[in-house]
Each structure stands twice: as structure tokens, then as C-alpha cells.
Structure 1
Amino acid sequence: MIKKKLVALAMAAIMTLGLAACGDGDSGAKEEKGTEEAVQQETKKEEASEEQIVISVGYPDNPDTSHDKACTLWKEKLEEMSGGTMTMQLYPSSQLGNTNDIIDQILAGQPIITIADGAFYADRGAKDMGIVFGPYLFDNWEDCWKLVESDWWKEQCSLLADLGLTIVADNWVSGTRHTMTTFPVNKVEDFKNKKIRVPDNTIQTKGFEAVGATATPMALTDVYTALQQGTIDGVENPLHVLYANGFQEVAKYLVLDGHVLNFATWCTSTDWYSTLTDEQKKWLTDSGHEAGLYSQELAADSDEVSLKALKDAGVTVKELTEEEKEAFRNEAISFYEDPDLTKQWSPDLYQTVRKAMGK
């Protein structure tokens, strides 16, 4: 690109010099100098536009897990689409800090992308988005993808962008969230007064309180010891996360309650994102979408493998009947009626979201 423009400018310079030879000498010299400056300016513009953009991607998942593999594909696809002018540096295992730490860096305008969900966005001011992490909101994964394609979701993403966070991918799967405990859970009443570790956000805290548990926010890295010492009685997460952290060694019961279908999004700084060209934005979002489809495949495979591994490790697995799961769902409906939440939400939000999914 640069070479072609330099050649064109050089030809223009030659023609200018030729004309100058027939006229005033000083005028020709000025024309030559002006042409040289134009060449230099054009070169600088081209070099600036083709300078490689490096994006840091931080996430809590360990290397070789589903999200890490999908991020590697995202990096490859972005480099391929951009011709190498955009690339990513991956930072798994919370190397850039926990999710809230990274979001703080993003809001400061850093070229960073991190994985987050409605629960975190609710705590950052997009209150209505928190509902997508509510217990038993979705009946199946198809409901999730219908919601992501809805006008309601697009409106929420626009509001979030105004708050400084732009979502660049929203079709990733973290997995179906289940609960592993140090005590058997056969019915929803078994959660009463039990301490269950949750991520540090209001939505998930309220979600477990709705089924009678004592929600205990805690860093995932502290959970193993807390289970071992009896500080907490259980932990919830997708199966592959539970297994990867070795919780089967200190918690021998698993209830497949499927309380949240955890679709994941990736966000970045609105200010930084606005500095990209339309083409660069498209490369980033298109490659992120492709990687998201891959993450859906990986999550399904990973859950199957992880469940078998947990059983092989001696974990007693409780699969809920439809009737038992309905009892969990009925108990959790109080979440959507919690005045601490509804006073922050738009009127009739639960009904609005269900309608957006075609319910």
C-alpha cells in the first residue's frame, strides 16, 4: 500500500520537476520541496494506520481450559482477518487481576478485554442486565441466544457503552452452573442456612439467598481451603471449573441444579473502542463471534468429560427430576420479587425479558 502511494507521488514529483524546468527555477525548487513534504506526510499516515494494535485479554480461566482455547482461536482469527495489524496478548489465571480489577483498568481507557456477565454489569450501573444471571431465568440455551438477538439486549448494550463498557462478543458459553457441596442435596430445602460460595456480586448473592442458602462471596482461589476447613459448605460453578480446581477432593456431593445458564460476554473500553476504524471493529467482533461458536462446542464437550471425572473421583451426583427442579424454580422466583432488586430495575423487567425470549 505504502509503496504504491510512494510511486504515485514520485511520478507526480517527476512531472512537476519537468514542468518547472520550463519555468522559474525558484518556483521549481519550491514545488520539489512541497512534493517531498507531501511524500513524508503520506508515509507517516500509512505507517500509523498499519501500526500493529496489541490488545490485552485477561480472564480467570487456567491455560488449556475451554475459554483459554477459544481465546487462542480468537487471537488467530483476529490476526488473520486484520493481516497481522491487530493481535492479542492472552493473560489467563487472573494474571491481570480479578474481573472487577480488570474492569477498573478498562474503564480507565486501557486496551484490555475481559470476560464478564450481567451480574458484573449490574454492579457497574447497568442494573437491568443483572437479570440474565438470575436463577432459572432460561429454560434452555436457545432462550439465551434469542435474548442476545433481541432489541432489549441491544438497548442494554448501548446503555452499558454509555457507562464506559462496550461488549465485543456475546455468544460465548461458560457452562451450566451447578452446586458442589460437603453435604447431600436432594431437595431445595437442603440449602437452608448452608454457606455457599458465590462470586462477589449482588445478583449471585441474592440468587442463593432466594433458595434459603447463606451466600458467601469469596475469591475462587480461596475456595479449596475454605471447603477443607469447613468455612463454607459448598461452591457453585460450571462443571469444568469445579473439576479443574480440584474441589472433588474436599466436597463429595454434586447437585445438577442448573440454576444459571451462564452465557458469557467480553467487554472493552468504550473510549478505546471508539479509536478503532469501522473495519478494525468488525475484525474484532467477527473474530470474537467465531471464537464464541467454538466456545459453545468446547463447553458441551467439557461438561461431559468433567462430569465423568467427578464421578470417577467419588463424587455423589444428584440429578433432579423435572418435579424436583420445578421445586427449585418455584423457590427461586422470590429472587425476581426481591424489593432490593426490583426498585433498581425497570418496571415489569422479568416479564419484559421473558417476552424478549418469546415466552
Structure 2
Amino acid sequence: MKKILCVSMLLGTLLVGGCGGEKKEVVNEKNDVIVLQFGHDNNPGDPVQEAALYWAKILDERSNGTMKLEVFPSGQLGSKSDLIDQMLAGDAIAAIGNGPFYADRGVPDLGIMQAPYLFENWEQLDKLVASDWWKEQMTQLESKGMKIIGENWRYGVRHTITTKPVKSVKDLKGMKIRTQNSTIHVKGFEVLGATPTPMALSEVYTSLQQGTIEGLENPLSVIYSGKYQEVAKNLMLDGHIRDLSSIVVGTSFFNSLTKEQQELLISTCREAGDYQNKLAEQADIDCLEKLKKEGVKVTEIDFDEFNEKAKPFYQYKEITETWSKGLLERIKEIIK
């Protein structure tokens, strides 16, 4: 009989033979059914969720049912930080990671991937991922207990939707904008004059209703699927970040798999990433039109004005002192 590996969220430990069974070490024998849980904050209908379901389908098919992906949208498994804590504890968990989170988890140079207004197109980020610099960062990340299995998930271009109109960078002064709970994102909005307010995406709708925050930043597909346009009617197309995200698992879980299982997990994850990118590109076009039809006022900002205002970000000692010497210059040389 095939054994089933699954995750107990309460115990934070892999169990064999059912989620309520006796605790045992992680063992992957040839006949084991591997169950990996993938949690994310995006809502049903969003490109990330659709790609996750596609990933689950092809992983099941190509493994002949020996590898399963269970998908949990809308923050059902907890925050991104919670998920990373669980995978570091050895759980069979996959999550969406990005540079700022990896920076806060001990690989500081990766934070530059979401520095404001640094990348002008996706091709520049593709160059970065293909570079020796990226390989160096991956080695460091694995030493911290995290293994990226898909580095090609283009989460989207991040824009800002607010309850009050923002026509220039001056209008952002003091506005409470929800950001990811990472130093890079917080400082990125602080330098623009806003008051960054980190919180889980699942809390944002109610917080906008109650006036706890006055806006959030995210790709258009995330904004639309979260229905934030119902409580915030002003969209600023500031494009402050091109969010190239990645799918990450714990190295202990990854190393417990056979070589064939590892290769299958990576190949299907990357294929799902390509699928997600196509969906996200079309969603940006569709969601912008839908937002307009639902009464959202769209503002095209002065890119040069915002870019100039963001420059002091690169003098924040809290960030730059953690970076390798000459990091910014090295990145610019790679992507030029």
C-alpha cells in the first residue's frame, strides 16, 4: 500500500500514513505519494491561483499520481512569513517568495530585485536570473534552508490604488499605504513620503472600509480579484516594481526527494510559471478595463518625478549597509 506524506499544520511536522498518524522522519521511498501544500494570498480567478491549479494537474499526471499538489488560496495556510517558517521547520510547504522576503531571511542582496524604479522591463530581470550573480544568491539561499524551484513567475507590475486621488508624488505624503511586510517594500514607500503599513493581504479590504489604511499596491489582477475597487476608487499607474517572484520550498523537503522527483517538481513548476505569465499579461489589459468600467479613476503619473523622489532609497543605510559593496553598479551592468 502506498504511504502518503502530508502536513500537520498544528504540529508543523511531516507525518506518514495520514495527517493524524504517528510522527516519523521524512522518508521518500519509491512507492511513497508525495503531497506538497502550496499556499498563497491570491484569490480564486487570479492568474496565480489558475496557474497553481494547472501545476497541480500536470504534476499529478506526469508523476502517475505519485506526486500531489494541494493548493490553498486567499491566505488559508497563513501569511508568507508563516509558510516560510513552516518549510524551514521541515514541512512539505511551497510558497511564493521574492527578493525582499529572501533579504529579510538572510540573503540581503536579493532585496535589490524589488528596489523602486530599478527595472524598466521584464527582459532586464530575465538577464539577472541568467547571471552568475543569481547563481551566487541561490547558493546562499539554500544555505538558509530555502530552495527555489521556479524562478520565472512574473507576479506583475505593481501599481497603487487609493481612497483619495493621487496625481503627483506630493499627494502621497502621509497616506497610509498597505505594503508587504518586508524592509524593501516599507522603505520603498517611505521614501515617496507615504506611511507604509504592512499587513496580510486578507486584511486589506476591511482595513480600507474602516479607514485604517488609504491604499494598497499590487498588480492589477490582484487588485481586481480582491475587489478593492469597491472601497478605493483611485488607481495610480506608477509601476514602481516589476515583481518577478519565485516558488520556494524548504531544502530539507527538496533533498528528501529522489533526483527524478526533484526534476519533475522543478520542470512542472516552471511550466506553470510560463502559463501564469501569459495569464498575468492578459489580465493586466482586461483588469484595467474592468476597473475603469467599475468607476475607478485612472491616473498616469509623471514617471520621472516619482523616479527622482525614489533615489534617496539607495542611500538608506538600513538597506545599503547590508548589501555587498558595489551591488547596485553590478546589477546595472548585468541588465544594461
Q: Stretches of 4+ moved more than 6 A in 1?
A: none
1:343 aligned residue: 321
1:113 is the counterpart of 2:94: yes
Aligned length: 309
1:191 is the counterpart of 2:169: no
Two-structure CA RMSD over aligned residues (Å): 1.4
Out of 172, 177, 189, the position equivalent to 2:158 is: 177
Out of 287, 311, 316, the position equivalent to 1:333 is: 311
From the two aligned structures, give the one with the greater helix fraction.
Answer: 1
**Which consecutive residues of structure 2, in runs of 5 or more, have no partner in the other structure?**
1-27
Distance in 2 between the 1:106 and 1:291 partners? 21
Deviations 1:294-330, CA, capped at 9 Å, x for gaps: 111000111111111110111110123xxx1012112
One-letter code aligned to 1:346? S
Distance in 1 between the 2:134 and 2:159 partners? 25
After the TM superposition, which residues 150-299 of structure 1 pair with which residues of structure 2 at under 5 Å, given as runs?
A: 150-299=131-280
2:81 aligned residue: 100
Deviations 1:269-295, CA, capped at 9 Å, x for gaps: 111111112211111111111111111
Distance in 1 between the 2:154 and 2:194 partners? 26
Distance in 2 between the 1:174 and 1:93 partners? 15
Out of 29, 39, 42, the position equivalent to 1:58 is: 39
Say which one has the larger Rg: 1
Q: Give the superposition deviation at 1:196.
A: 0.9
Out of 293, 296, 319, the position equivalent to 2:300 is: 319
Distance in 2 between the 1:288 and 1:136 partners? 28
1:78 aligned residue: 59
Q: Does the residue aligned with 2:156 lie in a helix, a strand or coil?
A: strand
2:13 aligned residue: none
* TM-score, structure 1 normalization: 0.83
Q: Give the superposition deviation at 1:80.
A: 2.8
1:141 aligned residue: 122
1:127 aligned residue: 108
Q: Does the residue aligned with 2:91 lie in a helix, a strand or coil?
A: coil
1:41 aligned residue: none
One-letter code aligned to 1:254? L
Distance 1:254 1:169, change over 3 A: same
One-letter code aligned to 1:89? E
Give me the identity figure in percent: 46
Is contact 2:41-2:201 (8 Å) kept? no
Deviations 1:31-90, CA, capped at 9 Å, x for gaps: xxxxxxxxxxxxxxxx93132211111111122321111111112222233232212111
* TM-score, structure 2 normalization: 0.89
Q: Give the superposition deviation at 1:345.
A: 0.8
Is contact 2:177-2:197 (8 Å) kept? yes
One-letter code aligned to 1:329? N
After the TM superposition, which residues 28-43 of structure 1 pair with which residues of structure 2 at under 5 Å, given as runs?
A: none
Q: Does the residue aligned with 1:274 lie in a helix, a strand or coil?
A: helix
Deviations 1:337-358, CA, capped at 9 Å, x for gaps: 211111111112111112222x
Q: Give the superposition deviation at 1:181.
A: 1.0
1:305 is the counterpart of 2:305: no
Deviations 1:153-185, CA, capped at 9 Å, x for gaps: 111111000000100001012111000112221
Distance in 2 between the 1:184 and 1:303 partners? 21
Distance in 2 between the 1:181 and 1:153 partners? 35
**Which consecutive residues of structure 1, in runs of 5 or more, have no partner in the other structure?**
1-46
Distance in 1 between the 2:254 and 2:187 partners? 33
Distance in 2 between the 1:81 and 1:283 partners? 8
1:40 aligned residue: none
One-letter code aligned to 2:305? A
Distance in 1 between the 2:176 and 2:326 partners? 31
